């Protein structure tokens, strides 16, 4: 009986990466992979600890995380508020939503030339770009969530003569929360991609994106690869943090 | 003002596919203070619509609805219990009931006290901190009744409040409702499709018929409470009531 238990504990998702790493390791140790661009797994693992420019990874990662939080908060709050207004009031919904839905169709990275023209080649553009990438998912999710508030519950608010603030805090926000949570997860990942993308495209300052960009310019494949790993790890951590926070925030959905 | 509620010549119609369809036609009746009036009728006779008009969820109608306060003032408080409990799933039972005091100037401690009082009244004292999904159907419905009562309404409207419950639980809640009604001076208008329930609870039973919804007949149930569910008078009334309905 113990055996199937053990078997289920082995993370099946790890099989493909382990096989890929093994092939990579074999290829580089048998000189199948060679040339200036070839690096071994061991080299890549050592880079962030032993190499002088490799060690900058940590600072870059921290800078990107701070940026994704600052920009994400900015855009997320804006998306939440505008999404609430658009979902709640017919006039606002009719006036606001078509514009936002149209603007959303513009590929995110097409904004970079405009944004750099408006906000310069520095922190401002990166923040605005991150905010923009968090804004759309949260706007959409909140708008939908508010629209889907069950009519029967809204009628109760009517018969109990609830005050407007109570309606927002006790009815509309909690009812829209499942949608907002999904929007938040999409927004977090979108903001992370936005942050890295903006750093990469603008190329200056501290951050994972510019870190990878400059490593590429110097043909440092070990740094590029560890940078990509850090990027993936950052995304996974961000998603996990959001999931944890959201499950803590809705106790009524927990099991009895 | 002697009536808690006066409905005068109320008519309402929906527009469906360009044609106007009457749901209520010239409905008039009065509810005295502290009286229980039951409305029975086939589905589609507009009895739920009538309650929605009285509570103010819909104000597109002709005629007049006057909600008289207890001391002659013309602004009675109206509470409503729906067929589904409609508790907010993200609030505990006590917070749900607490919503009834949202639009009052009561202090926090007075609110807590009253929430407790109404929780005990419906026998949910031990479930203050439970979420609605942790309650059974009957408990949730009792919580909904507590929430409506906590508004301390002059008129309590109930739209098939026990319709979704099994028959034993239904009888128990009917008795609970009568106990509560005796303790709190309140007029009740209860819509039901169950003739027995109507006759057991009400002082008067209005029988409605559909297409368009109108009052067909009124039965006075002049029996003292508690009533004998299987008693001769109730059975006879039930027979007469059903003969107008079917």
For the stretch A126-177, pLDDT in tens is 999 999 999 999 999 999 999 999 999 999 999 999 999 999 999 999 999 9
Pick left, alpha or beta for residue B68 (phi over 0 → left; psi -120 to 50 → alpha; otherwise beta): beta
How far B55 CA lies from chain A's nearest CA (Å)? 7
For the stretch B218-241, pLDDT in tens is 999 988 988 988 888 888 899 988
- Residues with Cβ within 8 Å of residue A240, at least 6 apart in sequence: none
For the stretch A75-118, pLDDT in tens is 999 999 999 999 988 888 888 888 988 988 888 888 888 888 99
Window 177-236 of B, Cβ < 8 Å to A: none
- Strands B214-220 and B204-209 turn out to be antiparallel
State the Cα–Cα distance between residues B74 and B10, nearest whole angstrom.
18
Asked if A171 lies within 8 A of B82 by C-beta distance, the reply is no
Q: Is A54 helix (H, G, I), strand (E, B) or coil?
A: coil
Reported as type and span, the H/E element at residue B16 is: strand B3-16
State the Cα–Cα distance between residues B186 and B153, nearest whole angstrom.
7
Strand partners, B220: B204
Structure tokens at B65: 């609805």
| Residue A171: closest C-alpha in chain B | B88
Q: What is the pTM of this model?
A: 0.79
Q: Averaged over B110-129, what is the pLDDT?
A: 92
* ipTM of the complex model: 0.88
Q: Is B189 helix (H, G, I), strand (E, B) or coil?
A: strand
For the stretch A208-251, pLDDT in tens is 999 999 999 988 989 999 999 999 999 999 999 998 888 887 77
Distances (CA, A) of B201 to A160, B28, B35: 25, 21, 10
Asked if A171 lies within 8 A of B88 by C-beta distance, the reply is yes
Q: Is B126 helix (H, G, I), strand (E, B) or coil?
A: helix
State the Cα–Cα distance between residues B128 and B95, nearest whole angstrom.
8
Q: Which residues of A touch B59 (CB under 8 A)?
A: none
């Amino acid at each position: 009986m113990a055996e199937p238990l053990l078997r289920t504990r082995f993370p099946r998702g790890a099989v493909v990466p382990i096989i890929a790493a093994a092939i990579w390791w074999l290829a580089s140790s048998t000189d199948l992979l060679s040339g200036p661009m070839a690096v071994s797994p061991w080299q890549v693992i050592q880079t962030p600890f032993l190499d002088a420019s490799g060690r900058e990874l940590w600072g870059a990662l921290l800078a990107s995380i701070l940026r994704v939080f600052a920009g994400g908060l900015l855009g997320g709050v804006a998306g939440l508020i505008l999404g609430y207004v658009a979902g709640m009031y017919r006039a606002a919904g009719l006036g606001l939503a078509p514009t936002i839905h149209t603007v959303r169709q513009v590929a995110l990275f097409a904004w970079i030339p405009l944004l750099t023209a408006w906000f310069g080649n520095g922190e401002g553009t990166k923040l605005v770009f991150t905010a923009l990438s968090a804004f759309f998912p949260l706007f959409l999710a909140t708008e939908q969530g508010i629209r889907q508030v069950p009519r029967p519950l809204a009628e109760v608010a009517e018969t109990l003569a609830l005050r407007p603030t109570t309606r927002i805090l006790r009815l509309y926000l909690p009812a829209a929360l499942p949608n907002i949570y999904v929007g938040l997860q999409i927004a977090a990942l979108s903001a992370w991609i936005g942050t890295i993308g903006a750093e990469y495209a603008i190329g200056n300052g501290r951050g994972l994106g510019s870190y990878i960009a400059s490593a590429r310019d110097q043909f440092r494949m070990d740094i590029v690869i560890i940078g990509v790993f850090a990027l993936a790890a950052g995304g996974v951590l961000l998603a996990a943090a959001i999931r944890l926070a959201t499950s803590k925030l809705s106790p009524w959905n927990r099991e009895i | 003002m002697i009536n808690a509620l006066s409905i005068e010549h109320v008519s309402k119609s929906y527009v469906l596919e360009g044609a106007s369809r009457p749901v209520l036609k010239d409905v008039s009746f009065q509810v005295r203070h502290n009286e229980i009036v039951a409305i029975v009728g086939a589905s589609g006779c507009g009895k739920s619509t009538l309650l929605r008009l009285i509570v103010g969820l819909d104000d597109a109608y002709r005629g007049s609805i006057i909600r008289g306060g207890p001391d002659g003032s013309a602004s009675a408080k109206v509470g409503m219990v729906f067929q589904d409990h409609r508790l907010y799933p993200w609030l505990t039972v006590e917070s749900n009931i607490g919503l009834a005091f949202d639009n009052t100037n009561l202090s926090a401690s007075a609110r807590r006290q009253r929430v407790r009082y109404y929780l005990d009244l419906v026998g949910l004292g031990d479930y203050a901190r439970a979420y609605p999904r942790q309650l059974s159907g009957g408990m949730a419905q009792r919580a909904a009744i507590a929430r409506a009562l906590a508004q301390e309404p002059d008129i309590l409207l109930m739209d098939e409040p026990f319709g979704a419950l099994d028959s034993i639980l239904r009888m128990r809640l009917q008795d609970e409702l009568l106990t509560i009604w005796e303790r709190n001076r309140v007029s009740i208008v209860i819509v039901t499709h169950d003739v027995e329930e109507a006759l057991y609870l009400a002082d008067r039973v209005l029988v409605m018929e559909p297409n368009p919804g109108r009052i067909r007949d009124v039965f006075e149930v002049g029996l003292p409470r508690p009533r004998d569910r299987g008693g001769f008078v109730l059975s006879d009334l039930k027979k007469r009531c059903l003969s107008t309905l079917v």
